[in-house]
Structure 1
Amino acid sequence: MLTVILAILFPFLAALLILLLHKKTSTIHLGWFVMTVPFALFVLLAFYIPAIANGKTYSHTVQWIPAYHINFITNLDGLSMIFGLLITAIGTLVILYSIYYLSTDEALKPFYIYLLLFMGSMLGVVFSDHIMILYVFWELTSISSFLLIAYWYHRKGSRYGARKSLLITVFGGFAMLAGFIMLYHITGTFSIREMISMYSQSKTHDLFLPASILVLLGAFTKSAQFPFHIWLPDAMEAPTPVSAYLHSATMVKAGIYLVARFTPIFGGETFWFWAVVTVGFITLLWGAFCAVRQTDLKALLAYSTVSQLGLVMTLLGISSLAFLTDTSVETTLYTQAAFAALFHLVNHATFKGALFMVIGILDFRVGTRDIRRLGGLMAVMPASFTIALIGSFSMAGLPPFNGFLSKEMFFTSLLHVQQLSIFSLDTFGFLFPVIGWVASVFTFVYCLIIVFKTFFGTYRKDARIDVKEASPGMLIAPAVLSLFIILIFFFPNVLGKYLLRPGLFSIFPADMAYSIEPISAWHGVNGPLFMTIGILIVGSGLYVFYRYWRIIYTLFPQKWSLDSLYHHSLTWMENISNSLTAVYMTGYLRHYLLYIFIFFSLSISTALIFLGAWPDQSAPNAPIGSLHWMLSMMMIVAAVAILFAKTRLTAVLLNGFIGFSIAMFFVLFRAPDLALTQIVVETVTTALFLLCFSFLPAWKKEAIKRGKSVTHLLVAISVGVVFTVTALAVHHGQLFTSISDYFEHADKLAGGKNIVNTILGDFRAFDTMLEVIVIFVAGLGVYTLIKLTSKGGPSNEDQ
């Protein structure tokens, strides 16, 4: 379906339009124009909801590089529809919020360009069926998020957080790319749908396990799973609209999408189950535990996002067991876990987006996000309090909010898993509900901290700041999300019928006999209900007596944290790099040439030895006449004489003599075109040398120690020998068929009769294009530096 491709390209085209047409003097906030992009895409996707709910899928292929099986293939099914709607719906609300959050004094044009690039990249990830195209958009999300996090680049924290997120997510992206290449080697196709259909034949391949490990690395780094979660809290240096968008509907959800999409390929394998479930549980518990200790509300929400993503990842790991069982009853239990994962994914987008926007309002109106400086804001900011209450209690899993429904489904899945006898779950399965319950207790505690520490207690009025409720325009977006939190609780099966079930059908094969139970707020007196009651009792007690047990956090000092390990590792690598660079970057050109020549001699001679590509003495060679010998000897004498020249003029003339002698060789070998070219080049070069040297100071020949002279002599001789042997070896062509056979068909391949002209004009055109691109990019860099300097742009000093 061409509509999906246009939906992916639309944000990129809008970004280009802003770049070309927007004027700095515009009095209308740029956000109003940008908001139409995600809103139009949301309406467009909404038209296809009924068809997708009935099991229809849409795919389209645009030929790109068919010779290498790389085409722009898109796929719109239930799973991609969920993510597409989240990206566009939350994107619309985030842009609406940003209109009131960012003033026209800010650099709005780059902000919205980055945001549109981010949006388009995420749509490309979820709609791509070709793994190489998916990878391209995957890395574009890393780059665009880097630009968004570093939007306030004059802040040290923004630059640090952006670099940290880029390093970790790009590392995972490279690992994922290697996994994709392995999958292509296994299946012979780049299409995800075709890979899924070949699951039974693929799982026995030797590369199947390494491919699953590498794909999970990409998913874990992008979705901030332990131990790669450390980039997410530092990403909070971005403006609040970016944080709300990144946490609720984009970036971190890309890793969740990848695991869900590839579960039909890797699901049912022991490693996949234990890796996803173990990492998910650790992330769930550690994120919730760390969130409680935070004093910055944004940091608290960042760790809560880490925890909630761990919950979704755990459910996806449990659902992978559906590919291992044959009974419809057990299959239904596992697919119910995937259903809960998708449900909580949507719920998390609503309450986390609302909470981030409220925190942004507090920072905007109060001037701080520090919990220790907040309190008593309920009376001053009642609307913000109401939204924060709804969002927090939904995240805590309390009724009547949507988070309660998905949390109960999470507990139900955990209780079912502990009864299994596969994968040693009969031994370790009891830990599943225990870990989930403990993490939920900490979740309840930090949700109480958000509500009570911020809005209850004594109001600390600052005479310098007039604290008041946010404007109605700023409250619209979080209020809409809060409304959806409540509506989903009362009408969950509307969401289940039109979005969640089709998403489930996209993960599991159609022949699986499963029947998802309707979502209900009351399932009777059962295990999940008792777990919820226990959370309320224990969580409330921990909150009230927090000052007595918070000493436990001293057992995890900052210097032993993963953040500290990352920072010290990066510092150590930078120091090693600087020390190593200082060794060989001496500032002397002769040293650099020496390194190049030594590397050339060693690498080429090693290749000659191991390949056995020595010249064949029995091969016929053209006869060498006396004139050739005389010319060669004169060139040798001139080359040696350059070393003993007293003036630059003498050296230039001797060098020119060597060049013109080469032209004479071309004449003797009956190559007049090459001879003319050589004469012209040598004449121009000699003239340029003389012109440049006339402006240089007097030549003082540098005294070189005898040992260095001997080293230079040996290197020069080795280069000459290797060059000669390589030329003879290539001439005899022992190892490979000569490439000239390919160019002999130049008339058919490129339509040219002259082989030399065809090689220069057609076959080297791509190489020339890349060279021009390199020069163009370098020119852009120089232009940017000059422009910043001329405008007195920001320095690299920390501000």
Structure 2
Amino acid sequence: MGAMLGIVLSDNLMVMYVFWEATSVSSFLLIAYWYQRKKSRYGAQKAMLITVFGGFAMLLGALMIGTAAGTFSIREIIGMRETLADHALFLPAMLLILLGAFTKSAQFPFHIWLPDAMEAPTPISAFLHSATMVKAGVYLVARFTPVFGGDMNWFWIIAIVGTLTLFWGAFMAIRQTDLKALLAYSTISQLGLIMSLLGIGSLALNPDFAAEADWFEAAILAAIFHLFNHSIFKGCLFMVVGILDHETGTRDIRKLGGLMSLMPVSFTLTVIGGLSMAGLPPFSGFLSKEMFFAGVLAANTHTEQWTLWLPIAAWVASIFTFAYCLILVFKTFTGTYHPDRLDKKPHEAPIGMLIPPIVLALIVVSAFFFPNLLSYNLFEPAIHSVLPGLRLPGETFYVKIKAWHGLNTELYMTIGIVVVGTLLYRTYKKWGDVYNLLPHKYTLGSLYDNGLAGAEKLSARITSTYMNGFLHSYLSYIFVFIILLVGGSFVLLDAFGYDLSTNAEIGLYEYILAGAIAVLAGFVISVTSRLTAIIAVGAVGYLVSLLFVIFRAPDLALTQLVVETITTALFLLAFYFLPKLKTEVTRIRVKISNLLISVGIGALFTLIGIAAQGSNQFKPVSEYFQNAYELSGAKNMVNAILVDFRAFDTMLESVVLFTAGIGVYTLIKLRKSRKGGQQ
């Protein structure tokens, strides 16, 4: 709830995105509430993958529109609507934001996660996956309608996707045998209805349809009104389904029937919620459904484009909606009672479980008889937010809702829905085989499963090619990446700039030592014995100490000799007990690659060092240490740095060495005690 409020109340796009993903994480955890069930884990994973994928798309779109506007404030972006339309990032940002909205609000073809989310406990399904969280995508479309609403791409994409979702959700709901699955597909269908209305209503911001703006404003009102209605009647229905599951032990329609006399209150609540969803009076769903028909008819009449399919698709989808509402009511509560098929002996739920759906059912009925109680307090301010600038300050939208508009086309469409929908319900056994025409392996759910399984196999195959268990390979990847990334960056930025004119001359002895070091380094790569390689590395270190002698740094030379002697001895001791090198490491191809990587890394960091030396933008820190004697009383600058200037660093290094020594001593003692038979 906090995350949903954060989405609605956020003015900053990045803050909105954080709350957006918080809803996805919350949904994931709640769907997997019964984590011991395979279906719960599967549904949670599917919801997470699809909604987070859309969330990343929305993030990219938000970054694009924020970059184009120069701000992430939604209010400021809305104020720049006219200037943003000509920006190169306008269309990509629109598509990415819509992708995020469609995945969150389960629009076709991303709707497949919502039915599997019904594995969550029923109160969670009612709250998250019907009334609130799935409306986040609808809210996002409404919130960005002031930015993108005047664009025809925005209208066409939302209208097509919303209408297709409306039809497909209603069509698939009829074949469901689980009550929660039926309500899940009905939610998908109703979300598509709201989406299509928002798409149609966005034409009010298009200057080409200024004369018809009132018709499209009515579509926005219908979207907001149905958003409210759907939350009320669908919340009521979900709670009743939870009651049925709790009192009968099943949600399978094939096992239910004849419960009207045993659960009369639940039956009454289902009738109110179901017929409101079907769009029949005297329930609030009838009002918003009639307004929906008026919106699609207006889109066909006033756009002067090929939009006849909108009212046709809306009418056909509403027929299926009416049919599955009849299934929900009559298949569950009428017909033959089968006590042998139920896990429990059914009876009416206690009053504590009935009060919440009763309250919602009362709102459904009250909103039909008194719809204008909310019109100017709730709906009209919302329209101002979706369609800013269409009214002068202080001027209001016309939002008076009436139940009777005479014998108009919308009423005739409703009558046709009742007749044809009842016929479909009565003859389902004759035409129900149409669902078997599409093989299961070609369904969207199956394609998702196969795609996920294929992606896992592909990733495992790719991973096995480079995760071969050799440390040599992993180091090679790291070094090659450094060469490409760092070296490529320096080349692209032309950062390899240096001046050698101020450097001292290189003497004969330095050339000889450098050549000897290079020969020994190449010898390290060519040998096949670890011990020989260690000795060669030690020889390289001793030659480096000779360079320090030539450069008149006896302290460094002495330190180098001591450290090189100790490390060589330790390496010889440790590597003596290791097995011989495998043939994969001793092949000529591997040795050549080692040579190239080594030369590349050495050359890269040598050039970086020379380049860093050549760009003296600041005074060198060495000038500070030239006064070592005055600052610390030390005649040796290196000792002064170690003991005085870096005293804490040196002390901590000593502590680390001391701690490591204690660890080595402890391991040796443990080994001796085990050999002696002690525990």
Q: TM tier, shorter chain?
A: 0.7 to 0.9
Taking the aligned partners of 2:25 and 2:19, their CA distance within structure 1 comes to: 10
Would you say 1:442 and 2:320 are equivalent positions? yes
| CA shift in 2, pair 1:485/1:638, >3 Å | same
Cα deviation, residue 311, structure 1: 0.5
Taking the aligned partners of 1:332 and 1:728, their CA distance within structure 2 comes to: 71
| CA shift in 2, pair 1:531/1:600, >3 Å | same
**Deviation string, structure 1 residues 442-463 (Cα, Å, up to 9, x no partner):** 0000000011111111111137
2:345 to 459, 466, 469: 466
- Aligned pairs for 1:271-286 (under 5 A) are 271-286=153-168
| CA shift in 2, pair 1:483/1:709, >3 Å | same
Count residues with an aligned counterpart.
620
Whether contact under 8 Å (2:525, 2:595) holds in the other structure is no
Taking the aligned partners of 1:412 and 1:165, their CA distance within structure 2 comes to: 34
- Aligned pairs for 1:252-401 (under 5 A) are 252-325=134-207, 330-401=212-283
What letter is aligned with 1:485?
V
| CA shift in 2, pair 1:453/1:688, >3 Å | farther
Would you say 1:237 and 2:157 are equivalent positions? no
TM-score (norm 2): 0.83
Cα deviation, residue 250, structure 1: 2.1
| CA shift in 2, pair 1:200/1:708, >3 Å | closer
1:408 to 276, 285, 290: 290
Would you say 1:536 and 2:418 are equivalent positions? yes
- Aligned pairs for 1:529-568 (under 5 A) are 529-568=411-450
Whether contact under 8 Å (2:173, 2:324) holds in the other structure is yes
Q: Partner of 1:206: helix, strand, or coil?
A: coil
User: Which residue of structure 1 aligns with residue 65 of structure 2?
Assistant: 183
Q: Partner of 1:372: helix, strand, or coil?
A: coil
Taking the aligned partners of 1:320 and 1:474, their CA distance within structure 2 comes to: 41
Whether contact under 8 Å (2:487, 2:604) holds in the other structure is yes
**Deviation string, structure 1 residues 762-787 (Cα, Å, up to 9, x no partner):** xxxxxxxxxxxxxxxxxxxxxxxxxx
What letter is aligned with 2:4?
M
Whether contact under 8 Å (2:529, 2:581) holds in the other structure is no
Whether contact under 8 Å (2:178, 2:253) holds in the other structure is yes
**Deviation string, structure 1 residues 623-663 (Cα, Å, up to 9, x no partner):** 44567557656755664565688987776676567668778
| CA shift in 2, pair 1:601/1:197, >3 Å | closer
| CA shift in 2, pair 1:578/1:458, >3 Å | same
1:489 to 358, 368, 372: 368
- Aligned pairs for 1:534-683 (under 5 A) are 534-602=416-484, 619-624=501-506, 632=514, 636=518, 639=521
| CA shift in 2, pair 1:563/1:633, >3 Å | same
2:15 to 133, 136, 155: 133
What letter is aligned with 2:321?
T
Larger radius of gyration: 2
What letter is aligned with 2:345?
D
User: Which residue of structure 2 aligns with residue 764 of structure 1?
Assistant: none
Taking the aligned partners of 1:242 and 1:671, their CA distance within structure 2 comes to: 74
Cα deviation, residue 205, structure 1: 1.5
| CA shift in 2, pair 1:615/1:226, >3 Å | same
Cα deviation, residue 381, structure 1: 1.9
User: Which residue of structure 1 aligns with residue 84 of structure 2?
Assistant: 202
| CA shift in 2, pair 1:646/1:290, >3 Å | closer
Q: Partner of 1:330: helix, strand, or coil?
A: helix
User: Which residue of structure 2 aligns with residue 455 of structure 1?
Assistant: 333
Cα deviation, residue 511, structure 1: 4.6
Q: Once the two structures are aligned, what percentage of the paired residues are identical? A: 54
Cα deviation, residue 175, structure 1: 1.5
Q: Which moves more between the two structures, 673-682 or 516-525?
A: 673-682
Bigger RCO (CA 8 Å, 6+ sep):
1
What letter is aligned with 1:583?
T
Taking the aligned partners of 2:13 and 2:442, their CA distance within structure 1 comes to: 38
Taking the aligned partners of 1:289 and 1:417, their CA distance within structure 2 comes to: 23
Q: Partner of 1:379: helix, strand, or coil?
A: coil
Whether contact under 8 Å (1:325, 1:331) holds in the other structure is no
Cα deviation, residue 525, structure 1: 1.6
Taking the aligned partners of 2:267 and 2:9, their CA distance within structure 1 comes to: 37
Q: Partner of 2:254: helix, strand, or coil?
A: helix
**Deviation string, structure 1 residues 199-239 (Cα, Å, up to 9, x no partner):** 11111222211111111111111111111111111111111
Taking the aligned partners of 1:202 and 1:740, their CA distance within structure 2 comes to: 44
Whether contact under 8 Å (2:131, 2:234) holds in the other structure is no
Whether contact under 8 Å (2:262, 2:347) holds in the other structure is yes
Q: Partner of 1:419: helix, strand, or coil?
A: helix
User: Which residue of structure 2 aligns with residue 700 of structure 1?
Assistant: 580
Whether contact under 8 Å (1:350, 1:484) holds in the other structure is yes
User: Which residue of structure 1 aligns with residue 354 of structure 2?
Assistant: 475
Uncovered stretches (5+) of structure 1, i.e. residues with no partner: 1-118, 745-755, 762-799
Whether contact under 8 Å (1:247, 1:353) holds in the other structure is no
Would you say 1:417 and 2:296 are equivalent positions? no
Taking the aligned partners of 1:685 and 1:531, their CA distance within structure 2 comes to: 90
Would you say 1:123 and 2:5 are equivalent positions? yes
Q: Which moves more between the two structures, 523-532 or 606-615?
A: 606-615
What letter is aligned with 1:700?
K
What letter is aligned with 2:158?
V
What letter is aligned with 2:382?
G
User: Which residue of structure 2 aligns with residue 525 of structure 1?
Assistant: 407
What letter is aligned with 2:84?
S
Taking the aligned partners of 1:448 and 1:594, their CA distance within structure 2 comes to: 67
Q: Partner of 1:428: helix, strand, or coil?
A: coil
Cα deviation, residue 476, structure 1: 2.0
**Deviation string, structure 1 residues 550-609 (Cα, Å, up to 9, x no partner):** 122122332211112222122222111111111111111112223333444455555566
Taking the aligned partners of 1:347 and 1:282, their CA distance within structure 2 comes to: 21
User: Which residue of structure 2 aligns with residue 31 of structure 1?
Assistant: none
Taking the aligned partners of 1:680 and 1:173, their CA distance within structure 2 comes to: 58
Q: Partner of 1:261: helix, strand, or coil?
A: helix
Cα deviation, residue 373, structure 1: 1.5
User: Which residue of structure 1 aligns with residue 633 of structure 2?
Assistant: none
| CA shift in 2, pair 1:607/1:527, >3 Å | same
The two structures, once aligned, show a CA RMSD in angstroms of 3.5
| CA shift in 2, pair 1:473/1:714, >3 Å | same
Q: Which moves more between the two structures, 632-641 or 348-357?
A: 632-641
Whether contact under 8 Å (1:442, 1:539) holds in the other structure is yes
Whether contact under 8 Å (2:380, 2:397) holds in the other structure is no
Taking the aligned partners of 1:429 and 1:458, their CA distance within structure 2 comes to: 45
Q: Partner of 1:262: helix, strand, or coil?
A: helix
Uncovered stretches (5+) of structure 2, i.e. residues with no partner: 623-640, 647-679
User: Which residue of structure 2 aligns with residue 751 of structure 1?
Assistant: none
Taking the aligned partners of 2:314 and 2:563, their CA distance within structure 1 comes to: 76
Cα deviation, residue 245, structure 1: 0.9
Q: Partner of 2:282: helix, strand, or coil?
A: coil
| CA shift in 2, pair 1:541/1:572, >3 Å | same
Taking the aligned partners of 1:589 and 1:454, their CA distance within structure 2 comes to: 64
Whether contact under 8 Å (1:331, 1:512) holds in the other structure is no
Cα deviation, residue 131, structure 1: 0.8
**Deviation string, structure 1 residues 127-177 (Cα, Å, up to 9, x no partner):** 000111111111111122111112222222112211111111111111111
Taking the aligned partners of 2:197 and 2:88, their CA distance within structure 1 comes to: 28
What letter is aligned with 1:123?
L
**Deviation string, structure 1 residues 664-719 (Cα, Å, up to 9, x no partner):** 9789989999999999998997798688x38x845434442344334433443343
Cα deviation, residue 494, structure 1: 0.9
